[in-house]
Amino acid sequence: MTIDLEIRRAERGDLPAIIALFANDRLGGHGDTTEPEAFGDYLAAFEEIGRSPHQTLYVAHLDGEVVGTFQTALLTSLPGRGSSSLVIEAVQTREDMRGRGIGERMVRHAIAEARARGAEKVQLTSNALGVDAHRFYERLGFERSHFGFKMRVK
């Protein structure tokens, strides 16, 4: 496990490295890019996340570099008698840093946040093609429970 890894809230200066993580995600298919004209879109999203009391964007920082990122969102819903879930989104570890325990530390950090915030459960989605990611999440104790659906509206 990586000992000197720091997990902290993302700062504006981390944004180029975070964007690069998503742009290098071959499986995600989100159309992310490091092209300069797209930076404003990412900055607007970063600022929106920062204003929300229910969302947090994190980075995993090692030896002066961003090596991973993830986002959490606390969702309270009526089913479950008004219970809350912590949703983990956008988990990415830099490709050359995989297999060093960074992803596990990030997910465990999110689980600790869920407990601290009184959430009943932690949930996430994973790309259907991400077989390695599925094994990773199952190893950490997650269970497959639902099918996911998406619809593009824009």
Please report, for the domain that includes residue 43, its CATH number.
3.40.630.30
Residue 53 in any domain: the answer is yes
Q: What is the pLDDT of residues 11-67, one digit of tens each?
A: 999 999 999 999 988 776 678 889 999 999 999 999 999 999 999 999 999 999 999
User: How many structural domains is the chain composed of?
Assistant: 1
Q: Residue 96: exposed, middle, or buried by beta-carbon count in 10 A (0-12, 13-18, 19+)?
A: exposed
| Model pLDDT, residue 2 | 43
pTM: 0.91
Q: What is the pLDDT of residues 78-134, one digit of tens each?
A: 988 999 999 999 999 999 999 999 999 999 999 999 999 999 999 998 888 888 889
Cα atoms in the Cβ-side hemisphere of radius 13 Å centred on 83: 13
Q: Which residues form the domain of 127?
A: 6-139
